[in-house]
Amino acid sequence: MPASTTKLTQVELPYLIVGQGIAGSLLAWHLEKANQPYLIIDNHHQTSASKIAAGIINPITGRRFVKSWMIDTFLPFAKSTYQEIEAQLDIQVWKDMDIIRFFMSNAEGNNWLTKTTWEGYDKYLKEEKNADFLHQFINDESGFGTVVGAKVDLGKVVKNFQSHFQKKGVLLSELFDYEQLIVERNQVRYKEITARKVIFCEGFAAFKNPWFAHLPYESAKGEALIIRIPNLQTPDIIKKHFFIVPLEDDLFWFGSNYEWDDLSNEPTEIGRNYLEKELKQILKVKYEVVDHLAAVRPVLKDRRPAIGLHPTNSNIAFFNGLGTKGTSIAPYWANEMTLFLTEGKEIPKEVNVQRFKLPVEAN
């Protein structure tokens, strides 16, 4: 392992990881548990969705109240992973939380009632919940139901992993320059580093990666507001089209929107106006905006993660496409990716990056 993050001399490793968002962090953590040396390169989280995400795990989503993909597997796996990390890094990041879901119409409320009787949905949906005090704060036309969910402080996870990796001397804080990667038959070389594999975890910025430029990216920018709502004290997440997530004291995370044309990380006036317009319709009371955040979610066209090896070069790997649900799905897939790398466990086709074919001339 390199002793310093600033003065690297000749370094030989099994794995070089690019990107230290939730994907790169969890992958490195699993490799560490499997006694596999690694080095991470990250550009100070310059484009990190993980740093600003609300970290909500919402098992029942959409207007039709559909169970989230593989949630029965992902949720318990995520809980035990984050709790293990809490113990190791001495932090608190996981919270079981109810989501008070306000209905947009009476029909939605009826649909909800039906869903509460479906097998497999009952553990995530509660009919009864004493949250009537919310009527002082929230405009409610059609009632609400309760989803049993959770929240993870993803920003805290990534920040604490950053310190952990720095202390171990395995984090190099700089922009990875694709042009300097030399791919040889059994290894890759990057400046002074020689690795068996480079694993790219750059989040939405992967569209700039020449080895994975052929993927059908549909990344979506999201903006969020940090707001103060005086006197609103609730242990629950409120969902009315948007999410209002309790942080500390009377501060809340509010968001977020979806924007596909502007993929910068900058908060915009258009975004803020849009969010505030929605907020005014939801809230009956005054609020104050204390911060405005933006980042881009790494989304692929088929809304599935993309993990595994480059189609023609087995020294180059990918762990990305966590989309809108990185909090719940990253723990499980980081473990599967590690099992693939260390034990050759097969990656399911649905998430294998090789489901996307290279253009013919590149083969």
Ligand X SMILES: Cc1cc2nc3c(=O)[nH]c(=O)nc-3n(C[C@H](O)[C@H](O)[C@H](O)COP(=O)(O)OP(=O)(O)OC[C@H]3O[C@@H](n4cnc5c(N)ncnc54)[C@H](O)[C@@H]3O)c2cc1C
Indicate the residue among 180 and 363 with the shorter CB distance to ligand X. 180
Q: How far is the CB of 276 from ligand X (least distance, A)?
A: 16
Residue labelled with tokens 């309760």: 146
265 touches ligand X by CB under 6 A: no
227 touches ligand X by CB under 6 A: no
Q: How far is the CB of 325 from ligand X (least distance, A)?
A: 4
46 touches ligand X by CB under 6 A: yes
CB atoms within 10 A of CB 270: 12
219 touches ligand X by CB under 6 A: no
162 touches ligand X by CB under 6 A: no
60 touches ligand X by CB under 6 A: no
Nearest of 304, 202, 216, 212 to residue 260 by alpha carbon: 216
Among 2, 28, 50, 292, binds ligand X (CB under 6 A): 50
Q: Are 26 and 1 in contact (CB under 8 A)?
A: no
Give the C-alpha separation, 272 to 265, whole Å: 14
- Span from 45-53, 62-70, 76-84, 276-284 in contact with ligand X (CB under 6 A): 45-53
Nearest of 56, 86, 51 to residue 159 by alpha carbon: 51
Among 5, 48, 219, 335, binds ligand X (CB under 6 A): 48
- Span from 46-54, 116-124, 138-146, 345-353 in contact with ligand X (CB under 6 A): 46-54
Give the C-alpha separation, 188 to 182, whole Å: 6
Residue labelled with tokens 């959770």: 150
Q: Are 144 and 99 in contact (CB under 8 A)?
A: no
Q: How far is the CB of 169 from ligand X (least distance, A)?
A: 17
DSSP conformational letter for 348: P
Task: Map residue 340 onto helix, strand or coil.
Answer: helix
Among 2, 155, 203, 311, binds ligand X (CB under 6 A): 203
Q: How far is the CB of 24 from ligand X (least distance, A)?
A: 6
Contacts 24+ apart (CB under 8 A), 29-35: 29/85, 29/161, 29/334, 30/334, 30/335, 30/337, 30/338, 31/338, 31/341, 31/342, 33/338, 34/338, 34/342
308 touches ligand X by CB under 6 A: no
CB atoms within 10 A of CB 149: 24
Q: How far is the CB of 26 from ligand X (least distance, A)?
A: 8
Residue labelled with tokens 């990881």: 17
Binding to ligand X, residues 332-361 (CB under 6 A)? none
Q: Are 329 and 76 in contact (CB under 8 A)?
A: no
- Span from 96-104, 130-138, 190-198, 315-323 in contact with ligand X (CB under 6 A): 315-323
* Size (the chain), residues: 363
Q: ω before 256 within 30° of 0 (cis)?
A: yes
Give the C-alpha separation, 66 to 56, whole Å: 16
Among 1, 3, 34, 175, binds ligand X (CB under 6 A): 175
Indicate the residue among 146 and 256 with the shorter CB distance to ligand X. 256
324 touches ligand X by CB under 6 A: yes
Binding to ligand X, residues 87-126 (CB under 6 A)? none
Number of residues that bind ligand X (CB under 6 A): 42
239 touches ligand X by CB under 6 A: no
Task: Map residue 73 onto helix, strand or coil.
Answer: helix
Indicate the residue among 98 and 202 with the shorter CB distance to ligand X. 202
85 touches ligand X by CB under 6 A: no
Q: How far is the CB of 204 from ligand X (least distance, A)?
A: 6
Give the C-alpha separation, 363 to 361, whole Å: 6
- Span from 4-12, 199-207, 210-218, 351-359 in contact with ligand X (CB under 6 A): 199-207
54 touches ligand X by CB under 6 A: yes
81 touches ligand X by CB under 6 A: no
**What is the Cα 52 distance to its own chain's centre?**
10
Chain contacts with ligand X (rule: CB under 6 A): 18-24, 41-43, 45-50, 52-56, 175-176, 201-203, 205, 222, 224, 255-256, 295, 297-298, 320, 322-328
